[in-house]
Structure 1
Amino acid sequence: MKVKICGLLNEEAALHAARNGADALGFVFAESKREISLKTAKSIISKLPKEIKKVGVFVNPSMERIEEVVSETGIDYVQLHGKETPEFCRSIPYPIIKAFSIESAGDLKKVHDYPCEYILLDGPKGKYYGGNGVAFDWGILSNFDFKDKKVILAGGLNPQNVTAAIAETNASIVDVSSGVETNGHKDLEKIKLFLTRVKNS
Structure 2
Amino acid sequence: MFRIKICGVTRPEDAAHAVACGAEAIGINFFPGSPRFVPADRAREIVEAVADRAEVVGVFVNEAPETILALCGRLGIRRVQLHGDEPPGDASRIPLWRIKAVHADRTADLPALLAYPCEAFLLDAGGGGIYGGTGRELAWGELGDRLPGIADARGPGAGRKPW
Q: TM-score range by the shorter chain?
A: 0.7 to 0.9
Amino acid at match of 2:36: R
State the match for 1:21 in structure 2: 22
Q: CA deviation at 1:87?
A: 1.6
State the match for 1:181 in structure 2: none
- Give structure 1 stretches of 5+ with no counterpart: 152-167, 173-201
- Aligned-pair Cα RMSD in Å: 2.4
How do residues 56-67 of structure 1 correspond to structure 2 at under 5 angstroms?
56-67=58-69
How do residues 178-193 of structure 1 correspond to structure 2 at under 5 angstroms?
none
Structure 1 residue matching 2:42: 3-state secondary structure = helix
Counterpart contact for 1:101–1:124, Cα < 8 Å: yes
Structure 2 residue matching 1:107: 3-state secondary structure = coil
Higher relative contact order (CA 8 A, sep 6+): 1
TM-score (norm 1): 0.68
Alignment size in residue pairs: 153
State how far apart, in whole Å, the 1-side matches of 2:162 and 2:86 are. 23
Equivalent position to 2:161, from 148, 164, 170: 170
Structure 1 stretches of at least 4 aligned residues deviating more than 4 Å after TM superposition: none
Q: Which has the higher helix share?
A: 1
Identity of aligned residues (%): 35
Q: CA deviation at 1:127?
A: 4.6
TM-score (norm 2): 0.83
1:4-51 CA distance string (max 9 Å, x none): 100001011110001111011000000200000100011121121414
Amino acid at match of 2:150: F
Between 1:2-11 and 1:138-147, the stretch displaced more is 138-147
State the match for 1:5 in structure 2: 6
